[in-house]
């Protein structure tokens, strides 16, 4: 198993007439991933885990008035929640690994939406 700590910035645009209204989330997260399946050579691992999340969400950079005079009801809000996660890690060499991660982020305190799916792809370099 391994512990993971990180920070995320997620931005999504919502269509409103001819413009796109941005929603931004700034979150910190911590969790643990447990490997549950690997190949014989231990080159590919599948892991599952759970993360705790906390942060801040803002819509339209906390501007309440839109260009046509409409008023947004959402104010900036502190958000918190959890995220079940699945990850695939494939070692390319002794020090490099390819990562594929899927998380279903569940938030409370948000007036925009409570469920957000995040898919991530990356490379990991092992220093030690």
Domains of the chain: which residue ranges? 2-43+51-125
- Beta strand extents in the chain (DSSP E only): 2-16, 19-38, 44-59, 77-91, 96-108, 115-125
Model confidence band, residue 42 (pLDDT cutoffs 50, 70, 90): confident
Burial class (CB in 10 A: 0-12, 13-18, 19+), 117: exposed
More confident site: 18 or 113: 18
Q: What percent of the chain has pLDDT over 90?
A: 61
Does residue 101 carry a pLDDT above 80? Answer: yes
Q: Which region among 27-31, 34-38, 57-61, 66-70 has the lowest average model confidence (pLDDT)?
A: 66-70
């Amino acid at each position: 198993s391994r512990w993971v700590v990180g920070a995320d910035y997620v931005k999504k645009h919502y269509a409103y007439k001819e413009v796109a209204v941005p929603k931004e989330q700034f979150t910190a997260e911590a969790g643990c991933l447990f490997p549950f399946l690997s190949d014989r050579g231990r080159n590919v691992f599948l892991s599952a885990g759970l993360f705790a999340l906390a942060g801040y969400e803002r819509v339209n950079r906390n501007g309440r008035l839109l260009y046509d005079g409409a008023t947004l009801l959402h104010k900036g809000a502190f958000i918190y929640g959890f995220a079940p996660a699945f990850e695939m890690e494939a070692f390319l060499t002794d020090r490099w690994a390819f990562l594929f991660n899927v998380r279903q982020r569940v938030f409370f305190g948000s007036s925009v939406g409570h469920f957000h799916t995040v898919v991530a792809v990356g490379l990991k370099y092992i220093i030690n």
